[in-house]
A and B are shown apart, each in its own frame.
Chain A
């Protein structure tokens, strides 16, 4: 059965390189020397132009890796050309997911001239990597509204999250905190709950706009009108042009390749190999949960029973706390 509902936004991850200068143990990308080639950029340029001409109102690229800054000299000119050709009426936007450790010379000019957003990974506060990142941010002086700090709760750094909360409140950056995406069970749920409770208290005490700028975990606390867009309008393009419904599925069978002459959007929305998009499934216990409107059942691809047990314990404490804080902030406005 054909399912080609209109698409307003198309938001692919573009993995410009699989090389990285860090080795975070939670990373889902296998570190290799693969770098996106000119042929793939040219194909993306053509495909995005056709989409904007036909079905799609806006395209939002997420430049990812590996570490994208390592290949900036290659992707920078290509993406700049796309922004020049398609970005005049705000229909083509770009953000870069980076660890912000090594910043190429021309990077700052590129980001600021093209109004490119920055999603900067920072998992702690006092460790050398986080200190280096903060140093680079302060030298860069980005617009706070264009920056999102991305934090994954890790066993070795989670204790410094309250200090990171103070930093975020002071700078006014957006802050997204992810619990472990692929289940590890460490730190324990009770430790995560205690830490996040302290972070939320700090944000509230510092009048940080929690509702607008803070998010916990995927598709949680952000009041959009959506589940995860994977399989609908989000997908991932690997360095060789292979397209996947989700960036966590690299290495599996792609649903298309951006260099092929195909209706990629149609293929994305009609794939049934993965339980996402129109083929999304949800565990029974989620559909009966009090917090479903905030949690939305979490990721359909990695929502294993083991992981759910861990995450639900955290969410059932943190999400009501979030509600209370947002209500209090609204009433104090």
Chain B
């Protein structure tokens, strides 16, 4: 897999525990995307949503949400391809080239655009 991300590539993340991050109006809290170590995601690499979800839930539980690389670019967040031994799709979304933790504004944007699959 290349480490280049195009705008239309999808990114997937499991949100768990299931009942912790959903607001009373049914939307996702930005708290789900606040990780000091950068936001871990699985890149789609143009797989079907169903296949990406199946692969993600092999290692994790929870609700799977999806947003695109363009959604990250829209708030100048950086997507990095960082495969691990266990997961060839593992990637991270960072605040910038030098800082990992997303800003509040970036977290909030991604929470707004994320879709449950």
A and B from one complex: no
Interface, chain B (partner A; CB < 8 A): none
